[in-house]
Structure 1
Amino acid sequence: MNQAQTLPPRGFKHWWLKWRFHLNILLILIPLAFMPKYFADMRLFRGEGGLGEHLQADIPVGRWSVSLAEMRDAAPEQDGPAGYFKIFNLALCAECQEGVKAIYLRIGKPRSLRAAGSIGFGSPYRMLTSLPIPQRTQPDAHIWITLEGWDGQMYQASVPLAEASPATAAWLAKQGGKP
């Protein structure tokens, strides 16, 4: 009898038949490793986890007060050629939602309402905005909050960037004014 006929078949088919069960178990276990982050994100998006990181509560802006928090405690993320952005959440106080038309965020004091910055969108209890972070910004810069009232008036307040987002201030210090 030929010895080649008695050896078990080798190759991909043999390997697949032997390991397919184990590979299927991996396909179930790998997504489970990402579940804690997913559930933490869902808590944050539903509002159960608060507004976010480094909450700056009750910032007086005109006759209203605003709470500001960064979405994640991380450096700004690059969004292609548009540059670097940081996501912030805003919330008006429960008693002061009447009379506010729009809320804007910007690094550096805006010259006018036309240059007020990125607009917050969403409900008054949880607004989201994606704030552009220029690379040449100094780490001691301020985030300016601009409220536009239905009466046409503009109200402003500022928060130090290092308090609102320490990771962004550290990232800017590391950049060192690079273009």
Structure 2
Amino acid sequence: MPRFWRRGRFHLSALMLLVPLPFLPDYFSPKPIFVPPEIRRDLAVGDFSVTLATYDEAPGRMPTGERMKAYRIHVRPADIDRIRGIFLRVGKPRSLRTAGTLAFGNPYEREAEVTVPDELAGREELWVTVEDWSGGMHQASLPLGEIFGGRR
């Protein structure tokens, strides 16, 4: 029995080296294997011009039960040094304290995950709040249906 197991281990390790071989061409190809279509919208927020992008898929449900939708925010290179923070929220924020989710990431492309209500009436808006370094707040809204994606 020990001799059989020694031989079996050798063949099992050789098999483990061969299993990934069919996937190597996809791994080294420059194009992604599967990327859903993307929805992009340009938006003027005060003096700033931003582009919102998201994948055309329904929001995911988090372990806490909330539905979350991920957005990427592209900022013009000329505006990067002037922007302190970018916030996203479904529904109009009452103040900077309730501005929504703070976008994070590198200055050129920031990311934010926004909480989406379970029941959508169809007239909700995605509000973008940009805070500059002087403390000024600039806001703009976009109908959520234009940048939502997926099935509602």
TM > 0.5 fold call: yes
AA matched with 1:148: E
Q: Secondary structure at the match of 1:40?
A: coil
Match of 1:54 in 2: 39
Residue deviations 1:8-59 (CA, integer Å, cap 9, x gap)? xxxxx8xx79x96995587225645874899528xx9xxxxxxx811112x1
Structure 1 stretches of 4+ moved >3 Å: 19-26, 29-39
Residue deviations 1:76-102 (CA, integer Å, cap 9, x gap)? 111101511111100111222232110
Q: Which runs of 5+ in 1 are unaligned?
A: 1-12, 45-51, 173-179
AA matched with 1:127: R
The structure that has the greater radius of gyration is 1
Q: Secondary structure at the match of 1:65?
A: strand
* Counterparts in 2 of 1:81 and 1:37: CA distance versus 1, 3 Å: farther
Higher relative contact order (CA 8 A, sep 6+): 2
Between the aligned residues of both structures, percent identity stands at: 31
Match of 2:20 in 1: 28
| Structure (1/2) with the larger helix percentage | 1
Match of 1:144 in 2: 127
AA matched with 2:39: H
Deviation at 1:164, TM superposition (A): 1.2
**Partners of 2:124 and 2:29 in 1: CA distance:** 31
Match of 1:9 in 2: none
Deviation at 1:69, TM superposition (A): 0.2
* Counterparts in 2 of 1:37 and 1:82: CA distance versus 1, 3 Å: farther
Q: Secondary structure at the match of 2:77?
A: coil
Match of 2:100 in 1: 117
Match of 1:40 in 2: 32
Match of 1:86 in 2: 69
Q: Secondary structure at the match of 1:157?
A: strand
* Counterparts in 2 of 1:164 and 1:95: CA distance versus 1, 3 Å: same
Match of 2:87 in 1: 104
**Partners of 2:118 and 2:30 in 1: CA distance:** 30
* Counterparts in 2 of 1:33 and 1:91: CA distance versus 1, 3 Å: same
Root mean square deviation of aligned Cα: 3.4
Paired residues, number: 148
* Counterparts in 2 of 1:34 and 1:162: CA distance versus 1, 3 Å: farther
Q: Which runs of 5+ in 2 are unaligned?
A: none
For residue 159 of structure 1, the aligned residue among 113, 119, 142 is 142
